[in-house]
A = this chain, B = another copy of it.
Amino acid sequence: MAKNKADLLQGTLDMLILKALSLGELHGYGVIQRIRQLSDEMLNVEQGSLYPALYRIEQKGWVSSRWDVHETGRDAKFYKLTRAGRKQLETEEASWDRLVLAIAKVRQAA
């Protein structure tokens, strides 16, 4: 990946996707763009990571999808957060906060 772009850690991608979709329905490629934009270009999700992840997440019932015509006139697959997905997002955010806190504690050590 390009310089200055943080590699994703395994386990963070689902949270990012759910967060992106929590701001409103999006098509797959749009999820990549929104995450990149919101993170000030620091996070770049690869297509080869995104599409399998969206499939996984849909299987788990956290998002639903439908085909529609994008404003550009092209067909695209739109994803929407389900109620279960919103709950999952909260869970993952809480886990993330705990991990960040725990690691901060270790790093505070003299």
A positions within 8 Å CB-CB of B? 6-12, 15-16, 19-20, 23, 35, 38-40, 42-43, 93, 95-96, 98-103, 105-107, 109-110
With contacts A23-B110, A100-B100, A110-B23 taken as known, whether A105 is within 8 angstroms of B42 at the C-beta atoms is yes
Chain A interface secondary structure, helix, strand, loop or mixed?
helix
How far apart are A26's CB and chain B's nearest CB, in angstroms?
A: 13
Task: Give 12 CB contacts A-B under 8 Å.
Answer: A6-B95, A6-B98, A7-B11, A7-B95, A9-B10, A10-B10, A12-B99, A12-B103, A16-B106, A23-B110, A38-B105, A43-B103
Known A9-B10, A10-B9, A11-B10; contact A35-B106, beta-carbon cutoff 8 A: yes
User: How many copies altogether?
Assistant: 2
Most chain B beta carbons < 10 A, residue from A10, A38, A106: A106
